[in-house]
Structure 1
């Protein structure tokens, strides 16, 4: 096939924005609703893009649309272009006023409760007019947002080494503990056996998280069925409030119990469950001055929390 002529004026930014939404929503209706356009307009935009590229980007099915190999490949490029455009606009703003700017930090449960707030407080003392936006979502959703330029960096659990697309920097290691509210019937007991845990409601992380798989292995090792009475969420605010108001059991990073006397750990060890908390950065992105400033504060905050020297080389400018 001929190489598509993408610079002849037919390809517009709206096509790339639409492609990104289609890939995330897996639905023309969903993408149209997200972009506040009608379904026929979204369908026409997709047809225009497929005509420009000369390939089919999505397969239509009864449950929505699924990207073809061409759709997956071009979506990755589209998100990189959108990220560069977004970064260019913000760079101009920061050049116009070096004391301002915006950094968007994505986070999931690990690191969101202690590390990130401490780092933001440190950053605001240094640069009070810099805007920090915190986006909370699943790890996979945050990676998509980072690729598209809507998130600058991800703070959370590291589950893989750096690769050709992602740069990962460990800030500290953290254990996972089973926790309840301080007035929970099991609080303070030293004789809690694993089967007793199944008698209480649970909060579990989402199925897409590594911690969820590790907890399922914990249940299996002890012959405990997956709790039927459960809530599934990675929102720390939701987890914390449910812990304080109900008899739920949750598996949370150990730093949480240090910060809130109303939450206490159970004397039930979680063998083989623990993780490293750190930064995930896109290798295709150039870090803005605002993002670099937050990364420095994250590194310093992690060192202060763990009593270690600040990790060197976290978040290089690239």
Structure 2
């Protein structure tokens, strides 16, 4: 007998347990009943019974046994993202309750882009924590569509990001930090000592490129059209910031990046700005906030806006 979605939902609400989700995620990750039992501190029979109970309740097989352990079925693979989101929600709920028990006056789920974190939050958020020590801030990082998806799912209270093409319904964008693209390199790069570099001459040097589809790559293609020769690209293409920054500091590479993203590295002297005649603006970094804010989120939003002039 097949079950419809409503019947399954009712079963999960009445008979489901959070521990079962944890076990499914761990077995899928570790591929072993024994390793899962050791990882979460229960017996192997406890893991086996929990899986059997969940499979019976859902009327679907979640794992297949093979010579090396356990392999998730197609149905299980489809369920894993949902299980992860549920466990993440439970963890965040625990954070909120713990914050209240510790006499916190509020909890803010803050989502920010890399540029927002490097260009703004690294300076402002610690000061907010000092000014409002009773407000707990949970900061997560995401970009572009992932940010808007989190907003649509009501997973965040505030987002600090670039101005979106269209603000989600019931939300508004408040610009904080103007931004532009700059050419950067390490201080040992030959171009670091030149007072003015023509864009056409930038083709003489090796570039660290971001993947296609990223705004910085699209703007690079615009300035590359002014080069006197085809640009030389470093064999590694990445948007992973630790690798990006490490390569720039260790090799004679150029990169076109948002000023907000590299501002801390420029300020600390780890990188320098090449004096190239590049004039490429980018959407400002700002706050994306619901029209109706909670008290704690409103305080953080106000603090960010008040602090912008000093950043």
Q: TM exceeds 0.5?
A: yes
Find the aligned partners of 1:124 and 1:130 in 2 and give their Cα distance.
Answer: 7
Specify the alignment match of 1:302 in structure 2: 308
For the Cα contact (< 8 Å) 2:111–2:139, is it kept in 1? yes
For the Cα contact (< 8 Å) 1:219–1:226, is it kept in 2? no
**Count of matched residue pairs:** 283
TM-superposed CA distance for 1:211, in Å, is 2.9
Is the counterpart of residue 268 in structure 1 residue 295 in structure 2?
no
TM-score if structure 2 supplies the norm length?
A: 0.63
For the Cα contact (< 8 Å) 2:212–2:218, is it kept in 1? yes
User: Of the two, which has the highest radius of gyration?
Assistant: 2
Change beyond 3 A, Cα 1:145–1:163: closer
Find the aligned partners of 2:134 and 2:202 in 1 and give their Cα distance.
Answer: 51
Change beyond 3 A, Cα 1:130–1:303: same
Find the aligned partners of 2:205 and 2:88 in 1 and give their Cα distance.
Answer: 48
TM-superposed CA distance for 1:176, in Å, is 1.4
Specify the alignment match of 2:7 in structure 1: 4
1:127 to 132, 148, 153: 132
Specify the alignment match of 1:93 in structure 2: 98
Change beyond 3 A, Cα 1:32–1:303: farther
Specify the alignment match of 1:114 in structure 2: 119
Is the counterpart of residue 174 in structure 1 residue 179 in structure 2?
yes
- Secondary structure at the aligned position of 1:278 is classed as strand
| Greater percentage in helix | 2
- Secondary structure at the aligned position of 2:10 is classed as coil
Query: Over the residues paired in the alignment, what is the CA RMSD in angstroms?
Result: 5.0
- Secondary structure at the aligned position of 2:233 is classed as coil
Find the aligned partners of 2:204 and 2:53 in 1 and give their Cα distance.
Answer: 54
Find the aligned partners of 2:257 and 2:220 in 1 and give their Cα distance.
Answer: 11
For the Cα contact (< 8 Å) 1:108–1:234, is it kept in 2? no
Which segment is superposed worse, 112-121 or 44-53? Answer: 44-53
TM-superposed CA distance for 1:249, in Å, is 1.6
Q: Which runs of 5+ in 2 are unaligned?
A: 38-43, 63-70
Find the aligned partners of 1:150 and 1:43 in 2 and give their Cα distance.
Answer: 33
Find the aligned partners of 1:16 and 1:295 in 2 and give their Cα distance.
Answer: 35
Change beyond 3 A, Cα 1:116–1:280: same
Change beyond 3 A, Cα 1:159–1:88: same
Q: Which runs of 5+ in 1 are unaligned?
A: 23-27, 58-63, 306-318
For the Cα contact (< 8 Å) 2:185–2:273, is it kept in 1? yes
Find the aligned partners of 2:31 and 2:160 in 1 and give their Cα distance.
Answer: 31
Is the counterpart of residue 37 in structure 1 residue 36 in structure 2?
yes
Find the aligned partners of 2:259 and 2:205 in 1 and give their Cα distance.
Answer: 23
For the Cα contact (< 8 Å) 1:180–1:249, is it kept in 2? yes
